[in-house]
Amino acid sequence: MRESIHKYFRIGTIQWMSYPDRSAAEAVRTIAGDDYFDAIEVCQIPDEREREEVRNLLAQSHLKVCYGAQPRLLGPKLNPNDLDEEGRKRAEATLMEAIDEAEYLEAGGIAFLAGKWEEASKDKAYAQLLKTTGNLCDYAAQKGMTVELEVFDYDMDKAALIGPAPYAARFAADMRMKHSNFGLLVDLSHFPTTYETSRFVIRTLRPYITHLHFGNAVVKKGCEAYGDQHPRFGFPESANDVEELRDFLQILKEEGFFCPENPYVLSMEVKPWKDEEAEIIMANTKRVLNRAWALVED
């Protein structure tokens, strides 16, 4: 593409992934000071003073702010499709708190993920997830906010109910029957973990996608960083690199996701592995995105 990627997407990064060893305020300050980024994704900030500091930094930045509630669930192992109603309510409660925190940070909504499931109780888990997500959408709608469900692997690492693209499409269609503020977040780094291609996922989920991530994954068993670990591009035995990202972008173009009047957020979800340096990994990811974009056909 000859035109800038920033015309068509708000390029973002994920604060807790990009700089896992820094405080939220330090990471936000670094990202906000880098004009490559148009968007930032933040998560729970337990300390009230630091939360206020981050809010002030974001207000100065002119970044589009997104809020990821995934760590609120993954850390304490809460499950929004828990068959135990008390467990489901605990997951829902922290996600309701996430909506309030996102509003305070002036984010437009939250993103979260489904919980683990068992084949024998899959339909019941699906109903529980509909209940949780519907309640979240009702609450978020009162604030003019959105709720996004991120599509994860279903049998490799996170083993989330949502899940393969056709099942995600079914869930999104059910949600959209009553909740126009619901959408799906899809991540290139998850496509290898669900044994799907960019073309299949994007075409299957086309009406429901509201947010995009890209990154890398290792899906060869026994290899370092196997699963949903978001290693850098160029990591040994990994699945995605320039060509896979170019293909992802090309299909987004074909399917009408290049929207200069209201660009989608496209965030890099890549983190340093072990003793790798965060600044170098960030530069690596920008190089790969720049090269992939240059190869997209006009």
Q: CB within 8 A of 255, min separation 6: which ones?
A: 202, 203, 206
Q: Quick one: pLDDT at residue 154?
A: 95
Mean pLDDT of 264-270: 98
Q: Which residue has the tokens 């780094």?
A: 189
How many separate domains does the chain show? 1
- The predicted pLDDT at position 4 comes to 98
- Note the pLDDT of residue 36: 98
d(Cα 7, Cα 13) in Å, to the nearest integer? 17
Mean per-residue pLDDT, 13-26: 98
Cβ–Cβ < 8 Å for 202, 252? yes
> What HEC string does the chain produce?
CCCCHHHHEEEEEEHHHHCCCCCHHHHHHHHHCCCCCCEEEECCCCCHHHHHHHHHHHHHHCCEEEEECHHHHHCCCCCCCCCCHHHHHHHHHHHHHHHHHHHHCCCCEEEEECCECCHHHHHHHHHHHHHHHHHHHHHHHHCCCEEEEECCCCCCCCCECCCCHHHHHHHHHHHHCCCCCEEEEEEHHHCHHHCCCHHHHHHHHCCCEEEEEECCCECCCCCCCEECCCCCCCCCCCCCCHHHHHHHHHHHHHCCCCCCCCCEEEEECCCCCCCCCHHHHHHHHHHHHHHHHHHCCC
Q: Give the amino acid at 152.
A: F
Grade residue 223 by pLDDT with cuts at 50, 70 and 90: very high
- Band (pLDDT 50/70/90 cuts) for residue 242 is very high
Cα–Cα distance, 224 to 104 (Å, whole number): 39
Task: Please give the average per-residue pLDDT across 256-284, as a whole number.
Answer: 98
Q: What value does the mean pLDDT take over residues 211-230?
A: 97
How high does pLDDT run on average in the chain?
Answer: 98
pLDDT of residue 167: 98
Q: What is the pLDDT of residues 120-144, one digit of tens each?
A: 999 999 999 999 999 999 999 999 9
The CATH number of the domain holding residue 229 is 3.20.20.150
Query: What pLDDT score was predicted for residue 97?
Result: 98
* Residues spanned by the domain of 159: 5-295
Q: How many angstroms separate the CA atoms of 102 and 120, rounded?
A: 35
pLDDT tens digits for range 144-177:
999 999 999 999 999 999 999 999 999 999 999 9
As a whole number, mean pLDDT of residues 173-185 equals 98
Strand 146-150 to strand 182-187: parallel, antiparallel, or no bridges (unpaired)?
parallel
Q: What's the Rg (C-alpha) of the chain?
A: 18
